[in-house]
Amino acid sequence: MLIGELSRRVGVHAHQLRYYEAQGLLQAERGTNGYREFDEGAVLRVKQIRHLLGAGLSTEDIAYLLPCAVGEVPELFGCPELLAAMRSRLHRLDDQIADLARSRDTLADYIDAADRMGTTLYPPFDGTAAEPLSA
């Protein structure tokens, strides 16, 4: 099937499919006319890629683990290398979540402090007269 048909069948733009191919996630043969031709397995492969991207995995991670994928959702064989890569990604996500939670708490503290101050005048930043903050 040509890239346009694959795009319609999986609901993914053609430029994304070309990107997946460039990243080594998807393979296509070239017809005599130079057009990409995908086999039926490409439909399943793109669905797997989309699910794994949705899990926060990078295309590099996905290229590494796709050979272990079975089914659309997909299920992954638990080979040690695969588990190590997924655990590493999970730890990175946990770190990002912790950083965001700290940022959120700090911002909430600033908001609470500003709310307690009410609509009082704020101090001038440039030596000019202070004006009330508006909501």
d(Cα 42, Cα 35) in Å, to the nearest integer? 15
Mean confidence (pLDDT) of the chain: 86
Model's pTM, two decimal places?
A: 0.61
Q: What angle do CA 81, 59, 73 make, to 5 degrees?
A: 75
The whole-number pLDDT of residue 70 equals 79
pLDDT in tens, 49-90: 999 999 888 898 888 888 877 788 777 777 777 788 778 888
Is domain 1-77 annotated with CATH 3.10.310.30? no
The whole-number pLDDT of residue 132 equals 57
> Which range, 3-12, 55-64, 119-128, is most confident?
3-12
For the chain, what are the domain ranges? 1-77, 78-122
* Contacts for 25 with CB less than 8 Å, ≥ 6 apart: 45, 49, 59, 62, 63, 66
The residue-averaged pLDDT of 6-19 equals 96
**pLDDT confidence bin for 46, thresholds 50/70/90:** very high
Q: Give the end-to-end CA distance of the chain in Å, rounded to a whole number.
A: 56
